[in-house]
Amino acid sequence: MGPVLFLTYTLLSSYFFPGSVVDAQQLFIIRDIILSIEPSTDVTRGTNVTLRCQVVVSSSTGQKDLSRVYTIHKDNKIFYTKKSNTVLNSGKFKCSVNIEGSLKESEEKSLKVTGLSKPVLHLNKDEVTEGEEVTISCAAPGEEGPIFFYFYMDSNEISRSSDSNKTAFYETKIRLSKTGTYRIHCLYSVLVIPEIFKSNKSDEAVVSVREVAIKPALKIFPQSKVFEGDRVNISCSVLTSIHSSQPVQLYLSQGNTLLTNGVNEVNHSIVALAKDPGDLECRLEMGGVTKVANESLFVTELFSVPTLTMSPAEVFQKDNITLICESGHFASERIDRGELDYSLDPPGSLVTQGGAGIFRGKALQHDFNYTCTAQAKGIQKQSQTLTVRPKVFVSTPTISVIGRAILGEQFQILCRSDTGSLPINYTLLKDDKRVGTRSVQQPSQRATFPVSVTKPDDITRYRCEASNSHRVPLPSARLNATVIVPLSQPFLRARPDFPEMYEGNPLQLSCSVEGTPPVNLTLYREDGKQPLVNANSMKLTLVYHVERMSQEHSGKYYCEAFNNASNTVRSNVVHIEVYLALWKKALIGGFCLLVLVLLVVVSVLYFKSKRGKREAAAELSVKPSSPKSDDSVSVNLTHNTEVYNAATDAAPLYDGTEGRVTNGLRHSAASLPADISNRSSYTIVDRAVVSVWSERPPEAATDEVSSVLSSEPDVEYTEVVHPQPVDPVRVPLRKGTDTVYSELKNSPHGAADPHDYGSVQYAELNSEQPEISHYSPEVNSYQDLPVPVD
Find the DSSP H helices in 189-237. Answer: none
289, 240 contact by CB (below 8 A): no
Q: Which of 503, 502, 546 is nearest to 523 (CA)?
A: 546
Residue 67 is assigned to a structural domain of this protein: yes
> What is residue 49's predicted lDDT score, i.e. its pLDDT?
85
Residue 590 is assigned to a structural domain of this protein: no
187, 150 contact by CB (below 8 A): yes
Residue 487's SS3 state is coil
pLDDT in tens, 580-632: 877 787 888 888 989 999 999 999 998 888 887 777 766 554 444 444 434 43
Q: How far is CA 256 from CA 4, 234, 252, in A?
A: 64, 16, 10
Last residue of a domain, one of 255, 270, 300: 300
Residue 122's SS3 state is strand
How far, in Å, CA of 459 to CA of 449, rounded? 13
Give yes or no: residues 709 and 760 share one domain: yes
H helix or E strand, kind and range, residue 261: strand 257-263
How far, in Å, CA of 699 to CA of 705, rounded? 11
> What does 430-441 look like in DSSP terms, one character per residue?
ETTEEEEEEEE-
pLDDT under 70 in the chain at which residues? Answer: 1-26, 61-65, 81-88, 164-165, 241-245, 348-349, 499, 617-790
> What is residue 633's predicted lDDT score, i.e. its pLDDT?
42
Give yes or no: residues 659 and 742 share one domain: yes
Residue 768 is assigned to a structural domain of this protein: yes
Last residue of a domain, one of 210, 226, 252: 210
pLDDT in tens, 62-111: 535 677 888 888 888 887 765 444 566 777 888 988 887 888 888 888 88
β-pair partners for 227: 300
Give yes or no: residues 366 and 462 share one domain: no
> What is residue 282's predicted lDDT score, i.e. its pLDDT?
95
> What is residue 64's predicted lDDT score, i.e. its pLDDT?
54
Give yes or no: residues 296 and 342 share one domain: no
Residue 155: partners with Cβ closer than 8 Å, 6 or more residues away: none
Q: How far is CA 762 from CA 35, 617, 645, 663, 687, in A?
A: 134, 13, 14, 20, 16
The count of other CB atoms within 10 Å of the CB of residue 278 is 15
The count of other CB atoms within 10 Å of the CB of residue 78 is 10
> What is residue 47's predicted lDDT score, i.e. its pLDDT?
80
H helix or E strand, kind and range, residue 590: helix 582-618
- Longest distance between any two alpha carbons in the chain, whole Å: 203
> What is residue 134's predicted lDDT score, i.e. its pLDDT?
92
Give yes or no: residues 295 and 323 share one domain: no
The count of other CB atoms within 10 Å of the CB of residue 294 is 12
Residue 598 is assigned to a structural domain of this protein: no
Last residue of a domain, one of 429, 462, 484: 484
H helix or E strand, kind and range, residue 777: helix 777-780
The count of other CB atoms within 10 Å of the CB of residue 744 is 24
How far, in Å, CA of 395 to CA of 417, rounded? 6
Residue 690 is assigned to a structural domain of this protein: yes
> What is residue 725's predicted lDDT score, i.e. its pLDDT?
43
Give yes or no: residues 54 and 182 share one domain: no
Give yes or no: residues 682 and 742 share one domain: yes
Give yes or no: residues 502 and 477 share one domain: no
Residue 136 is assigned to a structural domain of this protein: yes
| CA atoms in the 13 A half-sphere facing the CB of 752 | 4
Residue 166's SS3 state is coil
Give yes or no: residues 628 and 671 share one domain: yes
> What is residue 245's predicted lDDT score, i.e. its pLDDT?
66
The dihedrals phi and psi of 707, each to the nearest 5 degrees, come to: -65, -35
How far, in Å, CA of 225 to CA of 312, rounded? 41
How far, in Å, CA of 472 to CA of 451, rounded? 26
User: How many structural domains is the chain composed of?
Assistant: 7
Nearest-5° angle of CA 322, CA 324, CA 328?
160
- Cα dihedral 758→764→770→775 (10° resolution): -20
> What is residue 250's predicted lDDT score, i.e. its pLDDT?
93
Give yes or no: residues 758 and 675 share one domain: yes
Give yes or no: residues 626 and 767 share one domain: yes
How far, in Å, CA of 676 to CA of 653, rounded? 11
Residue 599 is assigned to a structural domain of this protein: no
371, 377 contact by CB (below 8 A): no
> What is residue 704's predicted lDDT score, i.e. its pLDDT?
37
Residue 499 is assigned to a structural domain of this protein: yes
Residue range of the domain that includes 48: 5-114
How far, in Å, CA of 634 to CA of 660, rounded? 7
Q: 664: which DSSP letter?
A: T
Q: How many residues does the chain have?
A: 790
* Burial class for 491, CB neighbours closer than 10 Å (0-12, 13-18, 19+): middle
Give the type of residue at 542.
L
Give yes or no: residues 375 and 411 share one domain: no
> What is residue 61's predicted lDDT score, i.e. its pLDDT?
64
Sequence-separated contacts (24+) of 350-358 with Cβ below 8 Å: 351/321, 351/323, 357/306, 357/324, 357/325, 357/326, 358/322, 358/323, 358/324, 358/325
> What is residue 771's predicted lDDT score, i.e. its pLDDT?
38
What's 26's domain CATH number? 2.60.40.10
| pTM confidence score | 0.41
> What is residue 247's predicted lDDT score, i.e. its pLDDT?
81
373, 347 contact by CB (below 8 A): no
- 368: phi > 0 → left, psi -120 to 50 → alpha, else beta; which? beta
